[in-house]
């Protein structure tokens, strides 16, 4: 998993990764490693999270007014989440509860067009050094 995402976005990616792992294991018979199709979906999700204009204020995808996934990966992610969601309480209870709590938050105002998270990461890296 990439180190480019920080804070809440990193937690979001960790949750998505866990959901894809549960799905891949049960549907594709993998153990400890994702199949190429699921790896591709995870990589796509990471790019979408990295480019989310909401940044740290990102709502859960099902409540987001901005639809950033292309139709094919969106449908696959919907299947993954629908299957893995209920099973997350068994496999990853803390991530599942965090996600459910996060889902109850209100959706923030739409960010300005073409906003990026890169400026936020650059500012945070400067503060760290």
Q: How do the domains of the chain map onto residue ranges?
A: 7-128
pLDDT (tens digit per residue) in 96-122: 998 888 888 887 777 666 655 655 556
pLDDT of residue 62: 79
Cα(36)–Cα(39) distance, integer angstroms: 5
pTM above 0.95, yes or no: no
Contact between 33 and 58 under an 8 Å Cβ cutoff? The reply is: no
Contact between 95 and 88 under an 8 Å Cβ cutoff? The reply is: yes
């Amino acid at each position: 998993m990439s180190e480019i995402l920080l804070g809440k976005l990193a937690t979001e990616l960790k949750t998505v990764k866990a959901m894809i792992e549960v799905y891949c294991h049960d549907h594709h018979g993998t153990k400890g490693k994702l199949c190429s199709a699921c790896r591709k979906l995870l990589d796509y999700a990471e790019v979408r999270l990295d480019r989310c204009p909401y940044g740290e204020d990102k709502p859960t995808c099902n409540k987001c007014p901005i639809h950033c996934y292309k139709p094919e990966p969106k449908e696959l992610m919907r299947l993954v989440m629908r299957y893995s969601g209920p099973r997350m309480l068994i496999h990853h209870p803390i991530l599942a509860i965090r996600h459910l709590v996060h889902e109850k938050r209100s959706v923030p105002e739409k960010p300005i067009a073409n906003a990026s998270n890169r400026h936020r990461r650059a500012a945070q890296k400067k503060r760290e050094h």
